[in-house]
Structure 1
Amino acid sequence: MASASGLFQCSDPKTWKRVSDMYWEVVAAKGAKQKKLLELDRWYQEELPALIGARPHKSLTSEEMVKLMEWKLTRGKFRPRLKQLVSSNAASTVESCTRKAFQLLPDVSAAIEELCQLKGIGPATASASEEAWTPHRVELCLWTWKVAEKHCPELLESLGDEKERPAKKLKTKQ
């Protein structure tokens, strides 16, 4: 079975799309052991964007930022100190930093830099958003691949030889 770097080396857009389409199956497979993951992931992928979009000035509340960190820690490596650090940010600071970060978009680097001023927030958490083939969607595919290797490798088997093709330029939609 190839590693996540094997997917990263793959230049076939169809393979990336198929891995992307497996996302919820893989979350469910991993969530069988971590019950909270499916609930948090649905909140992050579906509810949170709607909440943010409904606000006149896009921002996150302190509670949403803490829940975002909980999602991140449930999905990846557990680091208990991070949730405590994120919780220690003043609600007004979270709202003003996140509002400014949204205003800085599409300058992703500047937005990430703004968010990294918050305690417990680094580039990985700060970059968790966007649509189409963005760094976030690429990250979701790589996470899907890596977790599928451990929890449901049969899903990757269905990709067949596509994942082993030599590198070609990856076409993306912008």
Structure 2
Amino acid sequence: MCSLLNTIAPAIWTSVFSQYEAALGLKANKMKPDKKKDLLVLDKWFQTELPKLIESRSPKHVTHEELCKLMKWKLTRGKFRPRLTEMVASNSEDEVVAASTKAFKALPNISAAIQALSVLKAVGPATASAVLAAGSPQNAAFMADECLLAFPGLQPIKYDLPFYMAYIDKVKPICKQLNKDNPDAGWTPHKVELTLWTYQMIHALDPALSASLMEESHADREPPRKKQKK
């Protein structure tokens, strides 16, 4: 079990989340120069640009070009399966727009939204969850392997709808707990997923930084000690 899950405290989780760029850099540094550049550019696009593009449309949807780019991001950040790039490109623009429009309209019914996107070639629950996390982070979390491995009881990993629903059912209570004392804290399933991914990546690639983060966060939460009377 990921030790971050032992304490669902806003101070600790905020501290870990703030290290997302550092964690991404650690992963990128393990890659070849061209792949490293791809990861950094694509991740910035996925996390900051794509959400704004989707939000600007009425009704919400993604385009064929965006779905192909999202697939490239997913494969660069995770397991590379080149055939999926060709398969997802074989969907037509109309098919992508229609399926993604239906998916966003189905929310907050996550199951229906995932199924709506899964009619597209090469789009399973994991890729569908990335589309939904980008366009509706308050409802969905990306199905990242690192996050799935953080939870006890979610192994072996299965890339199907029941498994995704089991995953999201574990993520949502964390959001509720983190937002409990501050409804404006802005914790969403996607932000929780990013925080878990950050912790798992730093824990694997820079254990010293991981330990430091947890120690500093715990120290911040400890009340000041009272001075002993002489």
Q: Secondary structure at the match of 1:77?
A: coil
Q: Distance in 1 between matches of 2:75 and 2:83?
A: 10
**TM-score of the two chains, using structure 1 as the length reference:** 0.81
1:118 corresponds, among 120, 136, 151, to 120
Aligned with 2:129 (options 127, 131, 136): 127
Task: List alignment gaps of at least 5 residues for structure 1.
Answer: 165-174
From 123, 129, 136, give the equivalent of 2:190: 136
Q: Work out the CA distance in 2 between the residues paired with 1:53 and 1:24.
A: 24
**Cα distance in 1 between the residues matched to 2:93 and 2:76:** 23
8 A contact 1:127–1:136 mirrored in 2: no
Q: Are 1:23 and 2:20 counterparts?
A: yes
- CA RMSD of superposed structures (Å): 2.1
Match in the other structure for 1:167:
none
Task: Tell me: higher relative CO, structure 1 or 2? Use CA pairs within 8 A at least 6 residues apart.
Answer: 1
- Given the alignment of the two structures, is residue 46 of structure 1 paired with residue 100 of structure 2, yes or no? no
Which 10-residue stretch deviates more, 128-137 or 14-23?
128-137
Instruction: Using the TM superposition, give the Cα deviation of residue 105 of structure 1 relative to its aligned residue in structure 2, in angstroms.
Output: 1.3
Give the structure 1 partner of residue 82 of structure 2: 80
User: What is the DSSP-based 3-state SS (H/G/I as helix, E as strand, rest coil) of the residue aligned with 2:123?
Assistant: coil
Q: Which runs of 4+ in 1 moved over 6 A?
A: none
Q: 1:148 to 1:92 in 2, by over 3 A?
A: same
Could you say what secondary structure the match of 2:46 adopts? helix
Q: Unaligned stretches of 5+ in structure 2?
A: 139-185, 219-230
**Structure 1 residues 104-138: Cα deviation after superposition (integer angstroms, max 9, x where no partner):** 11212211111111111121221221144333222
